[in-house]
Amino acid sequence: MLTTPERNQEPMWFVIIRLLRWHKPEGRLILMIPALWAVFLAASGKPPLPLVGVIVLGTLATSAAGCVVNDLWDRNIDPQVERTRDRPIASRTLSVKVGIVVAIVAMACAAVLAFYLNALSFWLCVAAVPVILLYPGAKRVFPVPQLVLSIAWGFGVLISWSAVTHNLSLPTWLLWGATVLWTLGFDTIYAMSDREDDRRIGVNSSALFFGDFAPVAIGIFLAGTIFLLGWLGLVIHLRSTFWISLVIATVAWVWQYTRLRQQNLPNSAYGDMFRQNVWIGFLVLAGMIAGSL
């Protein structure tokens, strides 16, 4: 853990990088994956490169804004949690005013990119904003705040798909459902590392809500993800490479479920499984692209 003097010696640019979580790319990548699933599937594997660029930059800007807003909401909670106490606002390395400015800049960047999109996609971006802003507060009043996060994640699918097709169809909603369930699964895994701190502080999480049944709940979420992705593959006639990737992903998720059922896992194991889902998501993306061509 960094000491206060060491934190004060960090260059400002790196403190901002830490605030945006860009030094931990797995969280940014895992948000980007469903959006990329959508844009490549909607375009039959060949989306316009400028649109892909907008989607990538848009997810980076949006996730950055979401991270800062989360830290502003949790500035008095994060210092009490082992995993988050070194965050720049929690550790008072950055002031609240600086955090607000950074959040506004990130949201402004996302807004500029949204103007590149068609009308439906643009208004879906607008609809996503309150969900993103309110998610950090959900853990104070809603027993399963990860569901709110999952819905926020799902907007990436709706925005990206409609950016290609100008509409939302059955395949869109199948992919949206798969994304929501996948997010519920991997973020509940992530939340399991914070259970003791969350219980002590009095904030909600899906890991606390499901308690001893959390591994079973995660297994159900991941099984639902597999089912909806398979249904999607049938509806849009994806080729064998997609099915191969889905089988490999299924094996990986079954392995995670089996491990979660073990007793006394170290907290680091939950972070490891969260990061594994980034690679699983990219594997499925590769299968989707190859299976669409």
Please state, in angstroms and rounded to a whole number, the distance separating the CA atoms of residues 2 and 18. Answer: 13
Note the pLDDT of residue 56.
95
Phi, psi for residue 89 in degrees, rounded to 5: -75, -40
Buried b (16+ CB within 10 A) or exposed e, 104-118: eebbebbbebbebbe
Token pair 């939340």 is found at: 191
Q: Express each pLDDT in 166-178 by its tens digit.
A: 999 999 999 999 9
Cα 123 to chain center, whole Å? 21
Rounded mean pLDDT, 143-158: 93
Note the pLDDT of residue 197.
84
Long-range interactions of 126-135: CB distance < 8 A, separation 24+: 127/155, 128/62, 128/152, 128/155, 128/159, 131/155, 132/62, 132/65, 132/66, 132/69, 133/69, 135/66, 135/70
Note the pLDDT of residue 140.
85
The secondary structure element, H or E, covering residue 130 is helix 119-141
Q: Express each pLDDT in 237-284 by its tens digit.
A: 999 999 999 999 999 999 999 999 998 888 889 999 999 999 999 999
Q: Provide the pLDDT confidence category of residue 25 given band limits of 50, 70 and 90.
A: confident
Q: Express each pLDDT in 204-239 by its tens digit.
A: 999 999 999 999 999 999 999 999 999 999 999 999
Rounded mean pLDDT, 99-128: 94
Q: Which of 140, 194, 152, 114 is nearest to 30 (CA)?
A: 152
Task: Please calculate the CA angle 85-86-89 and round it to the nearest 5 degrees.
Answer: 90
Rounded mean pLDDT, 69-77: 86
Please state, in angstroms and rounded to a whole number, the distance separating the CA atoms of residues 103 and 115. Answer: 19
Note the pLDDT of residue 8.
53
Direct distance between the N- and C-terminal alpha carbons of the chain, in angstroms, rounded to an integer: 48
Question: Could you tell me the fold of the domain covering 9-292?
Answer: Tetracycline Repressor; domain 2 (1.10.357)
Note the pLDDT of residue 1.
38
Range with the lowest mean pLDDT among 144-153, 155-164, 277-286? Answer: 144-153
Share of the chain above pLDDT 70, in %: 97
